[in-house]
Structure 1
Amino acid sequence: MIFTPPLTSAMSTDTLIALLIFLFPLAYSPGPGNAFFAAIGASKGLRAAIPALAGYHIATFGVTALIGIGMGATILGHPLFAQVLSTVGSLYVLWLAVTFVRAARAEEGSAAEAPSAGEQRIGFWAGAIVLLLNPKAYYIIAVLFTQFLRPPANDDTATVLVITMVFTLNNLVAFIVWALGGRALTALFRSERSKRWIDCLFAATLIGVAAWMAVPLFT
């Protein structure tokens, strides 16, 4: 008898491998989530990014599970609601970009004061809100389920939970890698002036994320 690990009990091993291959470019290629956590990592380090990582991925797990069991129709079925989320989310990310610029400027006067302010502003809820106010993430998750939700007759919920867990953990690992990459970039340029420029660079990246979120999901 072949032993099947608990993680794959609701889907075949082949399907799980196909899911991971499908998710790899989505998670590791440059995108809004990667840019967000690379910016935090570059400015404050991985430890400071942990609260935002927790918030983002707890929200990811919840939203993914809800969409998987069919409760995402409210977002995906109402373009106006999706556009409101896009607008609010875009403005929120712009506000986060401003905090990076402020931190870079504050370091000119006090190197000890700026990190504290940044860590307070970009914490658990900041990460959660970035996910919750991005309807395009909802759409990507819905596409994920259309491709990989092939539930057995009595196993719908189990299959949804496996896909949700794999999707969330895969994103978490990818975003940790990007946060570490952002920090490594900062380490290459150790001067305070270089660090201020890197903060401003990632602030500009967040502005790009905000613009991406602001583009209408439905045309």
Structure 2
Amino acid sequence: MLLITIPLILFLFPLAYSLGPGNMFFAANGARFGFRSTLKANFGYHLATFVVTYLLGIGFGFGTSHAPTLMLALRYLGVLYVAYLAFGMMRAGLANDESQAKHASFIDGIVLLVLNPKAYIIIALMFSQFQPNSTGPQFFIGIGWISIIFTLNNMIAFCFWAAIGDKIAIHFRSKKKAQILNIALGSMLLLVAVWMAVP
């Protein structure tokens, strides 16, 4: 396991920590609601990540990669969902109504992963490079180990970006500045939706 772990982490590190839809989403939520409020969504996202990664690893990826209609549907459902969250955040800023601003939930985290086809592509890319060569039980153990490393690496990256967002928010404590922050972060999430829409 150790022989595959180090190269796998080196492979995943730039993918996990560079700016992407997931990192931007959690940075925005960390800035708006604080680091602790992102933990439920983070757990939901990465519980789904582990399940999806494991399924892709044992062969689900073949069917998904050969189902362009499914991937297209997932892409645009994901775009609509993130855009919905973005408009909710911006509306809270415009209306000055804190009741409209809701932090991402455990379910939001799951939905964000399931409706993010780019996550499937990254997972399929990972397994194209690190598919276990063993057979029988060792194959499933190997897939499980890779899925755990991938999931934990992503979770730490998301926590990192959520913490950065939380620190940024310290400078936006007044009501007027908070409105500006809501609109800016909602716009950021809209950019995430656009990012997800691009093939």
What TM bracket, shorter-length normalisation?
A: over 0.9
Give 2:131's match in structure 1, choosing from 149, 152, 156: 149
1:163 aligns with 2:146: yes
Residue identity matched to 1:14: L
Q: 1:149-194 CA deviation, whole Å, 9 max, x = no partner?
A: 2333441101100100000001101101111100100113332222
Q: How does 1:91-110 map to 2 (within 5 A)?
A: 91-106=80-95, 108=96, 110=97
Is the 1:42–1:199 contact (alpha carbons within 8 Å) kept by the matching residues of 2?
Answer: no
Residue identity matched to 1:29: S
- Within 2, Cα distance between the matches of 1:23 and 1:196? 36
Any runs of at least 4 consecutive aligned residues in structure 1 with deviations exceeding 6 A, and if so which? none
Residue identity matched to 1:50: L
Give 1:129's match in structure 2, choosing from 95, 107, 111: 111
Q: TM-score, normalised by structure 1?
A: 0.85
Q: Which runs of 5+ in 2 are unaligned?
A: none
Residue identity matched to 2:71: A
Is the 1:39–1:199 contact (alpha carbons within 8 Å) kept by the matching residues of 2?
Answer: no
Q: 1:76-104 CA deviation, whole Å, 9 max, x = no partner?
A: 11111111111111011000001111222
- Within 2, Cα distance between the matches of 1:62 and 1:159? 14
Q: How does 1:4-153 map to 2 (within 5 A)?
A: 11=1, 13-106=2-95, 108=96, 110-111=97-98, 113-114=99-100, 117-119=101-103, 122-153=104-135
Cα deviation, residue 204, structure 1: 1.1
- Within 1, Cα distance between the matches of 2:76 and 2:57? 25
Corresponding position of 1:212:
195
Residue identity matched to 1:47: R
Q: Which runs of 5+ in 1 are unaligned?
A: 1-10
Q: TM-score, normalised by structure 2?
A: 0.93
Residue identity matched to 1:118: K
Q: 1:187-211 CA deviation, whole Å, 9 max, x = no partner?
A: 1333222222222112111111111
- Within 1, Cα distance between the matches of 2:19 and 2:124? 21
Is the 2:74–2:117 contact (alpha carbons within 8 Å) kept by the matching residues of 1?
Answer: yes
Q: 1:114-162 CA deviation, whole Å, 9 max, x = no partner?
A: 5xx503xx21111111110111211110110111123334411011001
Q: Pairwise CA RMSD of aligned residues? A: 1.5
Is the 1:103–1:118 contact (alpha carbons within 8 Å) kept by the matching residues of 2?
Answer: no
Corresponding position of 1:202:
185
- Within 2, Cα distance between the matches of 1:205 and 1:14? 39
Q: Taking structure 1 as reference, are residues 152 and 75 closer, same or farther at Cα in structure 2, changes over 3 Å only? A: closer
